[in-house]
Amino acid sequence: MTARKIEYDTAARLAHVELLETLEQKADPRHAALLVVDMQNDFCASDGLIAKEGLDVSEAQKTAARLPAFIAAARRAGVLVVFIRNQYTTDGNFYLSDAWLEQAARKRHGGYTTLPVCTPGSWQADFYGEVRPEPGDPVVTKHRYSAFHNTDLDTILRAHGIRSIILTGVVTNVCVETTAREGFVRDYYVLLVDDGAAAYLREDHEMTLKNIDRFFGQVTSIAELTTTWTQSR
């Protein structure tokens, strides 16, 4: 018996519920949800906030081109699809704290201060391209990096019996990673889709993949998940 087999057997004995060991088990549509994080014009479009700050949005746009078919595959398999969106800038400033604004003034190039971000009802806040919810999809609105922070995401997932969250969207090393971390500490299995998420620097993307794989979940791909769902039907 290998050391890994002993470790899994011990983990299964200690757990109060059935352990999900394989990708197929974790991605099972009966208890998996696909989270599409922040695929909004401000973060993906050539005229959005990020591009105006001087960052390269090309990887976000490539990811946006891949996601519609992947989301459709998840729907066909019966996976719950949840869209996450940001709202930050509002009249009267409901959401941006002094700490948030100081960080923006120190490190951003106008974002959150002179450049509004994801104002409700604006083009900037709208979903990018073809990556958008269908009628009946849960849409969770957040005001911080984590999709769990002061939102109803956890309630939606628990109500659907979800045990695994599949993370896609932007930006890999900020909102996607923060959501993955909080999901794990809330006891969800985490699957981060390498080619279903994007950062504005490749090294930032790779850094998050390494960190998630080591401490918070499992890194997978669109092809692996699509094949898993197809074979399970």
Identify whether 38 is a catalytic site residue.
yes
Tell me, yes or no, whether 47 lies in a domain: yes
The one-character DSSP state at 133 is P
Domain count, the chain: 1
What range defines the domain where residue 180 resides? 23-232
Tell me, yes or no, whether 14 lies in a domain: no
At 85, which amino acid appears?
R
Q: What is the pTM of this model?
A: 0.96
Tell me, yes or no, whether 1 lies in a domain: no
The one-character DSSP state at 40 is B
Tell me, yes or no, whether 6 lies in a domain: no
Q: Which candidate in 38, 42, 44, 194 is catalytic? A: 38
Q: In 3-state terms, what secondary structure has residue 106?
A: helix
Tell me, yes or no, whether 111 lies in a domain: yes
Q: What angle do CA 82, 86, 87 make, to 5 degrees?
A: 135
Contact 154, 186 (CB under 8 A): yes
- Which of these, 160, 124, 166, lies nearest to 36 by C-alpha position? 166
Tell me, yes or no, whether 80 lies in a domain: yes
Identify whether 62 is a catalytic site residue.
no
Q: Which residues contact 132 (CB under 8 A, 6 or more apart)?
A: 39, 83
What CATH number did the domain enclosing 201 receive?
Answer: 3.40.50.850
* Alpha carbon distance 131, 11 (integer Å): 38
CA distances from 132 to 35, 66, 81, 100, 125 (A): 12, 13, 11, 28, 12
Tell me, yes or no, whether 2 lies in a domain: no
Q: Which segments of the chain does DSSP mark as H helices, in order?
A: 3-14, 23-26, 41-44, 49-52, 58-77, 98-107, 153-159, 177-185, 202-211, 222-232
Q: Which candidate in 28, 44, 118, 175 is catalytic? A: 175
Per-residue pLDDT in tens (0 to 9) along the chain, 233 residues = 798 888 989 888 888 898 999 999 999 999 999 999 999 999 999 999 999 999 999 999 999 999 999 999 999 999 999 999 999 999 999 999 999 999 999 999 999 999 999 999 999 999 999 999 999 999 999 999 999 999 999 999 999 999 999 999 999 999 999 999 999 999 999 999 999 999 999 999 999 999 999 999 999 999 999 999 998 76
Identify whether 175 is a catalytic site residue.
yes
Tell me, yes or no, whether 7 lies in a domain: no
Q: Which candidate in 26, 28, 142, 194 is catalytic? A: 142
